[in-house]
A and B are shown apart, each in its own frame.
Chain A
Amino acid sequence: MIGITSYGGYIPRYRLSRMVIIQNMAWYFPVIMAVAGGEKSVANWDEDAVSMAVAAAYDCMNGKDRKALEGVSLASTTLPFADRLNAGIVATALNMKEEGVSNADFSACMKAGTTAAISALESIEAGKRDSVLVVASDQRRTKMATMYEMFLGDGAAALLFGKDDVIAEFKGSYSVSCDFVDHYRGAGKEFDYGWEERWQRDEGYGKIIPEAIAGFLNKTEMKIEEFDKVIYPCYFGGTHKAIAKKLGIDKEKAQNNMHAVCGDTGTAHPFVMFVAALEEAKPGDKLLLASFGQGCDVMAFEVTDKIKDFKGPRGIKGSLANRVELASYQKFAKFRDLIVADLGIRGEANPSTSLTVLWRKRKMLLGLVGAKCKKCGTPQFPPMPVCVNPDCGAVNEFDEYEFADKEAVILMFTGDMLSASIDPPAVYGLIGYDGGGRTMLDFTDCELNQVKVGIKANMSFRKRYSDKMRGFTGYFWKAVPQVEGGDA
């Protein structure tokens, strides 16, 4: 059997109420009031498509062997590198094997996630690979006071495809490919450029998705009635409903488009909605997934008995529950670099990107891989040639030791107003890992007044710095204190 063996999701913690956007920007473009309800997810300032992809990938690989992966495909239209495999950053963060592995970026289209999934499944069907992870992630910047600002949210989701312990069997796919351009982002441009909504709705979503699904049903001789959930993105609420009607399905069988809770997460959105559906699925359920963007991919899955034993990850449901309202529109605008605030002369410091160091220390820097002494058993970070235990002194006798999936306890901390930071104060501190090892990390997704010595923290892969002069984004791991709520 071939299909999905695990899933994971990530919606960033900040949510921006659309009323906040309206209160701040409706004076400029009152039309945004038409979609006033609900909230959108907002990536923290230190998150991007790659970091959110890593979060979703770790969520998906929870309890799974990352060394068994034979490839990771990353789908996104907001990748930080135009030439450097972004999926390779995700793979290194996952501390995957390097030999016998083929990773790929799928980009430039909202349906790139499903295209990557079909490609992964085809390689497994062909017997070329046994286990492929597909992650879709997007963090699109939007101009102020636009419908895009209202509709679009940030997020990521991951699907693991393989042959063993399949929780949703792959039942076939069908694609329509056409150069229908409802919106586009020209090379080197910061923002999307869209054609009028009526065109996007009526000739785009409203026509192409039903036609592709009809094509799929025709090809596979399946009936739409067989499906318990039909999942397709469309942030126009009325059009989303109209598509269900056109397909002849009850409206409760059409998976909610999540406009109210996180907005449209772009390339990630078909996966985000699909994972949300899987989280509610029972054995025997049939799910039909369709994407949209210069055509449409349609994929069918049947949930198996294995889903009963499947230890659910945090997923979309869990990350939606981890929610803090971003009350300040200015903060949102600053996080997305839409407004200029002074970082001070201290902020001019040269980030000194070194590609040689990055290569030599890639496991440490991207994978948070430390060392465990073979002689005394001490886990340690950063990995160094001589054991840190003064009573041991072993030289070059270490096994790799992963800290990324370990819990830690906060030992000491501060909130620093002097550090150049997008979101001062810069909170950081010393943490001690369960099972041994300790280090000093930046903290994120918390407010200073929530942090205390003794509380637990988890590791999260984040942007460490943006070197604007050289166009380089550096990543490292941060500690996320286990706090609930907060005010921002």
Chain B
Amino acid sequence: MATGIRDKVAILGMGCSKFGERWNDGAEELMVEAFQECLTDAGIEKNEIQAAWLGSCFDEVSIGKSALPASMALRLPNISVTRVENYCASGTEAFRGAVYAVAAGACDIALAIGVEKLKDIGYGGLPDFTSAMGTLNQIWMANMTAPGGFAMLATGYAAKYGLDIKDVKRAMAHVSVKSHANGVLNPKAHLRKIVTEEQVLNAPQIAYPLGLFDCCGVSDGSACAIVTTPEIAKSLGKKDLVSVKALQLSLSSGTELAYEWDGAHFLTTAKASTMAYAEAGIKNPREEISMMEVHDCFSITELVTMEDLHISERGQAPKDIMDGFYDRDGQVPCQVDGGLKCFGHPIGASGLRMLYEMYLQLHGRAGDRQLKDPKFGLTHNLGGFPFMNVCSIAIVGKYDG
């Protein structure tokens, strides 16, 4: 009988590059930047790493296929390196690979690194999007982009709860205003500017009903983690360990698109979060989760996700959001580091960047953004579209919690 991942693996060190439009840096510079910080934080030598996982999504336009780009950029000592790709969950997938390898006893120390170099294509938004869906889907599926795919969720949500789209938009605006306020406090964030609700509501439309400020930053960046067992971490002199409490994934089977779905929730997130809480031993997430970094690719995604994480009741996310429940001084602060919205969203790096913030907060190293005595931090990625997606959830916390 499987016992889950809880407390089997500790984070030895983490690193994260500055996110943003890194015109003068490629994926190799970004990876090295994150990796050097991580290595210093872990306090080990590069040669002590026994296996590595690389997460990246848009391979053909970014770093190319295989894990060679990481192995070569970091000059890893001819160890096993595996590239994983699972849309926006790619970074968390790399982490999962490393964590599972350590938990399995296959190695003592493993590296997970995520990277995405998006700003080499010459236009805003994500690169050659349709080809990512395969030859068949590309020639029949709607002429979609990421914002459009998620924008539909707002119309579905408003219809399901009988809400005026304007009220949904106002709650969405608050989501972005809050993340911008947090991003200002983060020196590594891509977008560091306060915005007002009015600015958000009056921004140019990208995909009805999403405006410019409902969409996250498209950024270059890299983040990484070195993991080991709690025993080894302690033997290396580490104190106040941060350990992995849960790691769960859930993928669509096609029912949302082709069978039944209310168009107002993420089926996968609802399932993965339930499994993650069970794995972590969390009974009441609204009370027990101290902080979250969720996949706010678009404001509506964050709004709906609050319900699928079982923190807001169904239909109540707009109210909780407007009440400030998820603000930095609220009960469950969300996107403390600025989120995808302001920290930025280099796809393959995002899952690890979220964990980086949870790790800093748990160690009391989050500077101006530091929350008071957090216990459990949750990270969430949602790759694909509301109707067809990959969801990953990680929960980390204090090992001697």
User: How far is B130's CA from A115's CA once the two chains are assembled, in angstroms?
Assistant: 43
Mark each residue of chain B from 156 to 168: 1 if its CB lies under 8 Å from any CB of chain A, else 0: 1011000000000
Q: How far is the CB of B170 from chain A (nearest CB, A)?
A: 19
Return the contact of A364 from the options B140, B151, B155 (Cβ within 8 A): B140
Return the contact of B258 from the options A364, A421, A438, A454 (Cβ within 8 A): A438
Q: Do B123 and A345 touch (CB < 8 A)?
A: yes
- Which residues in A have their C-beta under 8 angstroms from that of B263? 411-412, 430
- Which residues in A have their C-beta under 8 angstroms from that of B151? 414, 416
Q: Do B259 and A418 touch (CB < 8 A)?
A: no
Chain B, 147-195, CB within 8 A of any chain A CB: 147-149, 151-153, 155-156, 158-159
Q: Do B208 and A448 touch (CB < 8 A)?
A: yes
**Residue in A closest to B136 when the chains form the complex, CB atoms:** A357
Return the contact of A388 from the options B131, B145, B259 (Cβ within 8 A): B259
B374 at the interface (CB under 8 A from A): no
How many chain B residues touch the partner (CB < 8 A)? 45
- Which residues in A have their C-beta under 8 angstroms from that of B260? 438
User: How far is B152's CA from A350's CA once the two chains are assembled, in angstroms?
Assistant: 25
- Which residues in B have their C-beta under 8 angstroms from that of A381? 258
- Which residues in B have their C-beta under 8 angstroms from that of A464? 139-140
State which of B6-14, B67-75, B235-243, B249-257 sits at the interface with chain A.
B249-257
User: How far is B254's CA from A417's CA once the two chains are assembled, in angstroms?
Assistant: 27
User: How far is B139's CA from A350's CA once the two chains are assembled, in angstroms?
Assistant: 11
Q: Do B255 and A357 touch (CB < 8 A)?
A: no
Total cross-chain contacts (CB, 8 A):
142
**Residue in A closest to B139 when the chains form the complex, CB atoms:** A474
When A352-B131, A437-B258 are in contact, do A426 and B152 touch as well, CB less than 8 Å?
no
Return the contact of A419 from the options B140, B148, B210, B259 (Cβ within 8 A): B148
**Residue in B closest to A346 when the chains form the complex, CB atoms:** B123
Q: Do A430 and B257 touch (CB < 8 A)?
A: yes
When A345-B123, A428-B142, A440-B141 are in contact, do A418 and B254 touch as well, CB less than 8 Å?
no
Return the contact of A382 from the options B123, B145, B258 (Cβ within 8 A): B258
A390 at the interface (CB under 8 A from B): yes
- Which residues in B have their C-beta under 8 angstroms from that of A346? 123, 125
User: How far is B139's CA from A465's CA once the two chains are assembled, in angstroms?
Assistant: 8
**Residue in B closest to A441 when the chains form the complex, CB atoms:** B142
Q: Do B208 and A351 touch (CB < 8 A)?
A: no
Mark each residue of chain A from 447 to 488: 1 if its CB lies under 8 Å from any CB of chain B, else 0: 010000110000000001100000000101000000000000
- Which of B122, B140, B263 has the most A CB atoms < 10 Å from its CB? B140
Q: How far is the CB of B267 from chain A (nearest CB, A)?
A: 11
When A412-B155, A418-B206 are in contact, do A440 and B147 touch as well, CB less than 8 Å?
no
Return the contact of B257 from the options A428, A440, A465 (Cβ within 8 A): A440
User: How far is B149's CA from A291's CA once the two chains are assembled, in angstroms?
Assistant: 49
Q: How far is the CB of A36 from chain B (nearest CB, A)?
A: 37
Q: Do B207 and A416 touch (CB < 8 A)?
A: yes
User: How far is B142's CA from A476's CA once the two chains are assembled, in angstroms?
Assistant: 10
B399 at the interface (CB under 8 A from A): no
When A418-B125, A440-B141, A442-B142 are in contact, do A413 and B152 touch as well, CB less than 8 Å?
yes
Q: Do B144 and A416 touch (CB < 8 A)?
A: yes
A354 at the interface (CB under 8 A from B): yes
- Which residues in A have their C-beta under 8 angstroms from that of B258? 380-382, 388, 437-439
Chain A, 372-407, CB within 8 A of any chain B CB: 378, 380-382, 384, 388-390
**Residue in B closest to A360 when the chains form the complex, CB atoms:** B136
Q: Do B155 and A418 touch (CB < 8 A)?
A: no
Q: How far is the CB of A345 from chain B (nearest CB, A)?
A: 4
Q: How far is the CB of B94 from chain A (nearest CB, A)?
A: 28
When A418-B148, A430-B387, A442-B142 are in contact, do A412 and B208 touch as well, CB less than 8 Å?
no
Q: How far is the CB of B102 from chain A (nearest CB, A)?
A: 34
B47 at the interface (CB under 8 A from A): no
- Which residues in B have their C-beta under 8 angstroms from that of A163? none
- Which residues in A have their C-beta under 8 angstroms from that of B207? 414-418, 425
Return the contact of B139 from the options A345, A351, A419, A438 (Cβ within 8 A): A351
Q: How far is the CB of A285 from chain B (nearest CB, A)?
A: 45
B138 at the interface (CB under 8 A from A): yes
- Which residues in A have their C-beta under 8 angstroms from that of B147? 416, 418
Q: Do B259 and A361 touch (CB < 8 A)?
A: no
Q: Do A349 and B131 touch (CB < 8 A)?
A: yes
Mark each residue of chain A from 253 to 275: 1 if its CB lies under 8 Å from any CB of chain B, else 0: 00000000000000000000000
Q: How far is the CB of B15 from chain A (nearest CB, A)?
A: 33
Q: Do A416 and B255 touch (CB < 8 A)?
A: no
Q: Do A378 and B259 touch (CB < 8 A)?
A: yes
When A352-B139, A357-B135, A411-B156 are in contact, do A416 and B254 touch as well, CB less than 8 Å?
no
User: How far is B257's CA from A420's CA once the two chains are assembled, in angstroms?
Assistant: 23
Q: How far is the CB of B328 from chain A (nearest CB, A)?
A: 30
Q: How far is the CB of B158 from chain A (nearest CB, A)?
A: 8
Q: How far is the CB of A342 from chain B (nearest CB, A)?
A: 11
- Which residues in A have their C-beta under 8 angstroms from that of B257? 430, 438-440
- Which residues in B have their C-beta under 8 angstroms from that of A218? none
B143 at the interface (CB under 8 A from A): yes
Mark each residue of chain B from 241 to 281: 1 if its CB lies under 8 Å from any CB of chain A, else 0: 00000000000011101111001000000000000000000
- Which residues in A have their C-beta under 8 angstroms from that of B148? 414, 416, 418-419, 426, 428
- Which residues in B have their C-beta under 8 angstroms from that of A344? 123
When A346-B125, A416-B207 are in contact, do A389 and B135 touch as well, CB less than 8 Å?
no
**Residue in B closest to A345 when the chains form the complex, CB atoms:** B123
Return the contact of A357 from the options B123, B139, B152, B259 (Cβ within 8 A): B139
**Residue in B closest to A426 when the chains form the complex, CB atoms:** B143
Q: Do A382 and B152 touch (CB < 8 A)?
A: no
B199 at the interface (CB under 8 A from A): no
A167 at the interface (CB under 8 A from B): no
B205 at the interface (CB under 8 A from A): yes
Question: Could you jot down 17 A-B contacts, CB within 8 Å?
Answer: A352-B131, A353-B139, A354-B139, A357-B136, A390-B255, A412-B153, A412-B156, A414-B207, A418-B206, A420-B143, A421-B143, A425-B208, A426-B148, A429-B142, A441-B142, A464-B139, A465-B139
For the complex of A and B, the 3 pairs showing the least CB-CB separation, nearest first, are A416-B148, A428-B142, A412-B156
Which residues of chain A have a CB within 8 Å of any CB of chain B? 344-346, 349-354, 357-358, 361, 364-365, 378, 380-382, 384, 388-390, 411-421, 425-426, 428-430, 437-442, 448, 453-454, 464-465, 474, 476
Known: A411-B159, A412-B155. 9 other contacts (CB 8 A): A353-B139, A364-B140, A388-B259, A414-B208, A415-B208, A418-B124, A419-B143, A429-B142, A430-B257
